[in-house]
Amino acid sequence: MFSARKLPGVHRTISFHNFRSHSASRTSPNLAFVPTCLPPDPIEVEKLQHFVSNSKRLFVITGAGISTESGIPDYRSEGVGLYARTGRRPMQHAEFIRSANARQRYWARNFVGWPQFSSFQPNIAHLVLRDWEKLGKLHWLVTQNVDALHTKAGSQRLTELHGCTHRVFCLACGDQILRSELQEQFEALNPTWKAEAFGVAPDGDVFLTDEQVCNFQVPACCKCGGILKPDVTFFGDTVCPEKVNFVHQRLAESDSMLVAGSSMQVYSGYRFALAARDKQLPIAILNIGPTRLDHFASLKLNARCGELLPLIVAPDPTS
């Protein structure tokens, strides 16, 4: 069910009543979409430990690289990202808005991919950040991901910068429903429609041909008949100013920044790293491969989030 939104940056509006015990997610990671890298160097572990220990109000921003160990592919990882594996590109905002055929393709693919995508579970990196929050070490968490894994892990001091695929809203009247409710509407409208998926994409859809989607029926808003859109920021769209300002306020309250699993290629997230630099906050990066921050970060570590973060002890910042 949905809870009231009191702050523009807080979007923990989904209750996962049937989510299994958090400890059940502490299993072997799924490395199918994780680039190869060396194990963490003990010296690097010590450096990150020092960074975290010195932080009293840590601001964390995560990207797709934190969720690849849960089995969700990203776009840019060398050799295993969507761009490396296929010629496909993500849905563009303008295309979704203006084209009924584009919306039909998007929703048909999303309908097929939803059962798998909605079943993904947080990995140990998500759980570590949740635990840091409980300890008072993590002041605020901003995720660029739309997979709801931080929410499933139990994080509460959280802003979903680009929204969440588990929510759907009407472009005309603004009415919001759960994505699971929309799945039931799809099933009712398409009782005999079937399609075999070819591969999985980062944001929950799968690869289908135009022939497969041509007969797929898309429901309209049940309140006004308007266009339904996932509550996510598509490529080419912008994050609302209220949310951006809210995140800047949380950053202003922080004393350090950790970037986990992101190359920070997208400006919507990169702007906060620039703001942290301007405030002369120490910045640590944990990401496999280069990032836009490498030249001004205080610390850069090339390792898996799920392999390195559990090695860090986060003492109570008030002690």
289 is in an annotated binding site: yes
Tokens of 168: 């759907």
Annotated ligand binding at 83? The verdict is yes
Q: Is 159 annotated as a binding residue?
A: no
Nearest alpha carbon to residue 59 among 133, 5, 9: 133
Find out whether 110 is annotated in a ligand binding site. Answer: no
Q: Is 168 helix (H, G, I), strand (E, B) or coil?
A: strand
Residue 14 assigned to a binding site: no
The 10 Å Cβ neighbour count of residue 252 is: 12
Q: Any known ligand binding at 263? A: yes
Q: Is residue 64 annotated as involved in ligand binding?
A: yes
User: 144 labelled as ligand-binding?
Assistant: yes
The set of residues, in sequence order, having a beta carbon less than 8 Å from that of 132 and lying 6+ positions away, is: 58, 60, 138, 314
- Flag whether 164 is marked binding: no
Check 139, 150, 162, 166 and give the catalytic one: 162
Instruction: Tell me whether residue 73 is annotated as binding.
Output: yes
Using the structure block, give the residue that is written with the tokens 């490529």: 235
Residue 193 burial (C-beta neighbours within 10 Å; 0-12, 13-18, 19+)? middle
CB 200 within 8 A of CB 87: no
Answer yes or no: 50 catalytic.
Answer: no
Q: Is residue 13 marked as binding?
A: no
76 is in an annotated binding site: yes
CB burial of residue 242 (10 Å; 0-12, 13-18, 19+): exposed
DSSP 223-264: TT---EEEEE--BT----HHHHHHHHHHHHT-SEEEEES---
Which of 81, 66, 82, 86 minimizes the C-alpha distance to 146? Answer: 66
Detail the residues annotated as belonging to a binding site: 63-83, 144-147, 170, 173, 221, 224, 261-263, 287-289, 305
The residues annotated as belonging to the active site are: 162
Detail the residues annotated as belonging to a binding site for NAD(+): 63-83, 144-147, 261-263, 287-289, 305
Detail the residues annotated as belonging to a binding site for Zn(2+): 170, 173, 221, 224
